[in-house]
Structure 1
Amino acid sequence: MTWHYDADVVIVGAGGAALAAAVAAVHEGRSVLLLEAGSQPGGTASISGGAFWIPNNSLMRAQGLTDPRDDALKLMARLSYPSLYDPAATWLGLPKREYDLLTAFYDNGSDVIDELTQLGALYPYIYPGFGFSPSPISDPDYHAGLPENVSPYGRVLGNAPPGLVGWPGFLLTQSMIDWLDARNVPIRTGHRVVDVLQKQNGEVVGVDIDHNGARKRAKARRAVVFATGGFAHARGKMLGLQRGPLFGTGSVPTGKGDFLDIASKLGAAIGNLSNGFYFQLSVEEAAAQDGHVTNLGAIAFSVYGDSTILVNKYGRRCVNEKLPYHVRAQSHFLTLGTDEPNLVQFMIWDEAVAQEPTPWPWRGVVPAPGSLPPFVIKANTRAELAAAIEARLDALRGQRFAASAVVPTATLDPSFVTNLEDTITRFNAFAQAGVDLDFQRGATSFENAWQGPSRSVTGNRTMHPISTTGPYYAVILGAGTLDTCGGPITGTNGRVLRPDGSAIPGLFGAGNCIASPAGRGYWGAGGTLGPALVFGFLAGRNAAREPIHPL
């Protein structure tokens, strides 16, 4: 057999999990080769917010903060497996493997980040608050309101390597890329791995590569680690496997689920395929970009504004607008019989919000004053706004998205304008009282901190009456996924497992290409990258400790 490349550890992908795996394997004294399908390294991590959620990290402890193990595990279990979680049960009600993954993350997370720091591959800091947090250290966790979250400050870290300037995701990945470059570790871009090579006993000893139409092979003397991201750009998989109607993704275009296909052929156990990390996006922007939405101005991570609401096709509020994006976006998934009333939602705000001048990182689809992107609708009256929304919906019909469409039933109900008037009247009464009796908007420290600037004169910073006169603004929102998080099941050491729990020899996985240790959960800001870095590092270290495979 002809080998074009060889290394002790072959790592497939070059995003956050892959780079952490590479650093770990190099630190073990092994030779490493990274194979990246895209034209440049970094993956989806490089275009992300660059935050990573690490419980009980050494930086928060240095600030005098504690993060007790039992409480942190309860928080993660509740968010990851809400239909199984029982604080009084063995393993908190979870299957043992799922519980063990949570404990492995807590037990190893801080040490992994410390080791990456000591090596000079990361330069972490606690993400500071943006000005409205109860704590001087950081903004509260997304799920600060849960009783299990006894340590809601300081878990979210960022990376600030000296001499580097740029987007936070770039700073995270480039920091590790520079570390690898300094040690002459090759990262071969434009190399899509299409299969693995095995010995007769099933041991994985290399990979098959497509490089500009030519077939190449790379030998892995010890192990192969896959960290190739999810399948958000594979429409067939999205439609067949994801549970929600999804209009787009923020992941890089190379994410087509290659490892899911490869590992399935090897007999790997598969899990968590129906879950992802969700957010809301402009449906019109998704249409213009063929579902690949990376423009932050078209993404509603936060529903900006104190007089901003979300309504469905009936003109009624359908969710607490200030919930974390992963939770809020799942309100689109509601099905009532054959009706999907929230398939698309309409974010509506008034002139006061439109003219709010504060530079705020989470304005999202609400542009700064003086700007009006094409996906923002403006009208002088509520009736005119409804007519303009309907016209935009009609223009979107017939186009297919990641796993959804603006179907004929996604139209404004005849009662939309009347109901919208009633909805605004009711909301305004809540705003004047400072209590949202319908969705409890503003009841948590997270919601109030992420509100940003506010005109409220009550204790609830998230609500102010909507103006009785126009102009009004709207954006058509749909659910999207930052990436999927299902695939082959792995153990705490990163080994890919078969249904009987045995490991496929020589094969490891980490990141969004595997069944996420977080299950359904998104633990906080950086809830994707925290597990990616930690389990990527562990997979790389354990792969490097594999014995050499005799061929």
Structure 2
Amino acid sequence: MTWHYDADVVIVGAGAAALAAAVAAVHEGVSVLLLEAGPQPGGTASISGGAFWIPNNSLMRAQGLMDPRLDALKLMARLSYPSLYDPAASHLGLPKREYDLLAAFYDHGSDVIDELTQLGALFPIIYPGFGFSPSPISDPDYHAGLPENVSPYGRVLGNAPPGLVGWPGYLLTQSMIDWLQARHVPIRTNHRVVGAIQKKDGEVVGVEIEHHGARKRARARRAVVFATGGFSHARGKVLGLQRGPLFGTGSVPTGKGDFLDIAASLGAAIGNLSNGFYFQLAIEEAAAQNGHVTNVGAIAFGVYGDSTILVNKCGRRCVNEKMPYHVRAQSHFLALGTDEPNLVQFMIWDEAVAQEPTSWPWRGVVPAPGTLPPFVIKANTRAALAAAIDARLDALRGQRFAASGVVPSVKLDPNFVTNLDATITRFNGFAATGVDLDFQRGATSFENAWQGPSRSVTANRTMHPMSASGPYYAVILGAGTLDTCGGPITGTDGRVLRPDGTGIPGLFGAGNCIASPAGRGYWGAGGTIGPALVFGFLAGKKAAHEPVHPL
């Protein structure tokens, strides 16, 4: 057999998990080769907000913030497996493997970040607040309102390498790329791995590669670590495996689920395929970009504005607009028999919100004053707004997105305007009292902090009465995914497991290409990248100590 490349540890991918694995393996003294399917390294992490959620990290402890182990595990277990979580049960009600993964994340997370810092591959800071937090240290965690969350400040970190400027995700990945390149670690781009090479006894000893139409092979003397991202760009997989109707994704286009197919062919156990990390997006932008949404101005991470509401096709509010995006986006998944009333939602705001001049990172689909992207609808009356929305829906009808479409049932209810008037009247009453009796909007510190600027005269910063007259604005929203988070099941060291729990020799995985240790949960800002860094590092370290596989 001809080998075109050779290394002790071959790492597939070049995003956060892959780069952390590479740093760990290099530090252990072995040779490393990274193979990246895309034209440049960095992966989805490089275009992200660059945050990473690490419980009990040393930076928060230095600020006097304690994050007790049991409480943190309870929080993660409740968010990851809400239908299993039992605080009084053994392993908090979780199967042992799932519990062990959460425990390993808590036990090793801070040490991994400290080691990456000591090596000079990361330069972490506590991700700062944006001006409306009760704490001077940071914004509260997304789930600060849960009783299990006794330490809602300081878990979210960012990377601030000296002398490097750019988007936060770029700063995260580039500092590790620079560290690897300074040590002459090859990162070969446009190298898509399409298969694994096994010995007769099942050991993985290399990978098959496609590179500009040619087939190549890379030998891994010790192990292969896959960190290739999810399958958000594989429409067949998204349609067949994801539990919700999705209109688009923010992940890089190389995420087609290659490792899912490769690992399954090797006999790996597979899990968590129905879950992802969700957000809301402007579906007209998704249509224009073939489902690949890179414009952060078309993503509703937050629902900006104190007099902004979300309604379904009946003109009724259907969710707490200020909930964390991962939770809020799942309101689109509601199915009532053959109907999906929340399949698309309409974010509606008034002129006061439109003219609010504050530069705020979570304005999302609400543009700065003086600009009007094509996916924003404007009308002088509510009836005219409804007519314009219906016309936009008709223009989108028949198009197919990641795993959804604007089908015939996606049409405004004949009573939409009447219902919308009643909805706004009821909302305005809640805004006057500061108490949302329908969805408890603004009941948590997170919601009030992420509100940003507010005109409210109550203790609830998230609500102000909507204007009785226009103009009004709207965006058509659908559910999207930052990425999927299902695939081969791994142990606490990243080794890929068979259904009987035994490991596949020489095969490791980390990041969004595996069955996420977070299950269905999104623990907080950076809830994807935190586990990717930690379990990527642990996988790389373990892979470096695998015995050399003789051919």
Under a length normalisation based on structure 2, what TM-score does the superposition of the two structures give? 1.00
| CA positional deviation for 1:149 | 0.1
Distance 2:130 2:282 in 1: 25
Query: Partner amino acid for 2:413?
Result: D
1:531 match: 531
1:214 match: 214
Distance 1:435 1:342 in 2: 24
Distance 2:292 2:273 in 1: 20
| CA positional deviation for 1:379 | 0.1
Distance 1:192 1:129 in 2: 39
1:348 match: 348
* DSSP-derived class of the 1:61 partner: helix
1:204 match: 204
1:415-464: per-residue Cα shift (whole Å, max 9, x none)? Answer: 10000000000000000000000000000000000000000000000000
Aligned residues: 551
Distance 1:458 1:303 in 2: 19
2:172 match: 172
Query: Partner amino acid for 2:389?
Result: I
Q: Are residue 33 (structure 1) and residue 33 (structure 2) matched?
A: yes
Distance 2:523 2:73 in 1: 11
Distance 1:130 1:164 in 2: 22
2:237 match: 237
Distance 2:157 2:535 in 1: 16
* DSSP-derived class of the 1:85 partner: coil
Q: Are residue 419 (structure 1) and residue 425 (structure 2) matched?
A: no
Distance 1:542 1:536 in 2: 10
2:154 match: 154
1:309 match: 309
2:54 match: 54
2:507 match: 507
Distance 1:113 1:363 in 2: 31
Distance 1:119 1:69 in 2: 26
Map 1:438-517 to 2 at 5 A. 438-517=438-517
1:405 match: 405
1:292 match: 292
Distance 1:181 1:267 in 2: 35
Query: Partner amino acid for 1:380?
Result: N
Distance 2:131 2:398 in 1: 44
* DSSP-derived class of the 2:309 partner: strand
1:444-495: per-residue Cα shift (whole Å, max 9, x none)? Answer: 0000000000000000000000000000000000000000000000000100
1:246-292: per-residue Cα shift (whole Å, max 9, x none)? Answer: 00000000000000000000110000000000000000000000000
| CA positional deviation for 1:205 | 0.2
Distance 2:243 2:415 in 1: 29
Distance 1:278 1:96 in 2: 27
Query: Partner amino acid for 1:16?
Result: A
* DSSP-derived class of the 2:547 partner: coil
Distance 1:284 1:471 in 2: 21
Distance 1:173 1:400 in 2: 33
| CA positional deviation for 1:380 | 0.2
Percent identity at matched positions?
89
1:223 match: 223
| CA positional deviation for 1:50 | 0.2
Q: Are residue 98 (structure 1) and residue 70 (structure 2) matched?
A: no
* DSSP-derived class of the 2:543 partner: helix
Q: Are residue 273 (structure 1) and residue 273 (structure 2) matched?
A: yes
Distance 1:399 1:151 in 2: 45
1:358-387: per-residue Cα shift (whole Å, max 9, x none)? Answer: 000000000000000000000000000000
1:379 match: 379
Distance 1:513 1:130 in 2: 32
Query: Partner amino acid for 1:269?
Result: A
Distance 1:6 1:305 in 2: 55
Distance 1:156 1:294 in 2: 23
Query: Partner amino acid for 1:463?
Result: M
Q: Are residue 519 (structure 1) and residue 509 (structure 2) matched?
A: no
* DSSP-derived class of the 2:317 partner: coil
| CA positional deviation for 1:209 | 0.3
Map 1:69-218 to 2 at 5 A. 69-218=69-218
1:136-176: per-residue Cα shift (whole Å, max 9, x none)? Answer: 00000000000000000000000000110000000000000
Query: Partner amino acid for 2:143?
Result: H
Distance 1:415 1:263 in 2: 51
Distance 1:261 1:86 in 2: 34
Distance 2:406 2:93 in 1: 39
* DSSP-derived class of the 2:492 partner: coil
| CA positional deviation for 1:216 | 0.3
1:78-112: per-residue Cα shift (whole Å, max 9, x none)? Answer: 00000000000000000000000000000000000
Detail structure 1 runs of 4+ shifted over 6 Å in the superposition: none
Q: Are residue 430 (structure 1) and residue 421 (structure 2) matched?
A: no
Instruction: List alignment gaps of at least 5 residues for structure 1.
Output: none
Distance 1:379 1:394 in 2: 17
Distance 1:128 1:37 in 2: 34
* DSSP-derived class of the 1:246 partner: coil
Query: Partner amino acid for 1:52?
Result: F
Distance 1:191 1:429 in 2: 58
Distance 2:314 2:235 in 1: 29
1:282-325: per-residue Cα shift (whole Å, max 9, x none)? Answer: 00000000000010100000000000000000000000000000
* DSSP-derived class of the 2:248 partner: strand
Instruction: List alignment gaps of at least 5 residues for structure 2.
Output: none
Query: Partner amino acid for 1:179?
Result: W
Distance 1:294 1:269 in 2: 33
1:480-539: per-residue Cα shift (whole Å, max 9, x none)? Answer: 000000000000010000000000000000000000000000000000000000000000
2:5 match: 5
1:329 match: 329
Query: Partner amino acid for 1:81?
Result: Y
Distance 1:131 1:385 in 2: 33
Distance 1:161 1:448 in 2: 31
2:251 match: 251
| CA positional deviation for 1:544 | 0.2
Distance 1:387 1:118 in 2: 59
| CA positional deviation for 1:239 | 0.2
* DSSP-derived class of the 1:97 partner: helix
